[in-house]
Amino acid sequence: MSRRALGAVSADRTMVSTGQAGDGAQGFVKRALGEVLGMIARHRQRRSLAALDDHLLRDVGLSRTEARREADKAFWQE
């Protein structure tokens, strides 16, 4: 099945409509893929956050403790 037939997943895990119904097995696959991609994105973002130095954390308004708390979350936690 083509990528267009399955729909495209945007970076924020929302499905981009292709004019097809999202019910049944195909809808399940789309939602599952969106969730997996979201988990991967969260994992990467948390790794990047943990790597920031204190100066950059201050720039985004976070303390080292807050950044560590977020970075320590499991990839499936939002």
Q: Which amino acid is at 26?
A: Q
The encoded tokens of residue 70 equal 């977020």
pLDDT at 78 over 50: yes
**Contacts for 52-60: CB closer than 8 Å, 24+ residues apart:** none
Give the pLDDT confidence score for residue 21 in this predicted structure. Answer: 52
Higher-pLDDT residue of 53 and 22 is 53
pLDDT tens for 23-73 read: 799 999 999 999 999 999 999 999 999 999 999 999 999 999 999 999 999
19 φ/ψ sector (left φ>0, alpha ψ -120 to 50, else beta):
left
**Global confidence as pTM:** 0.63
Distance CA 1, CA 77 (A): 31
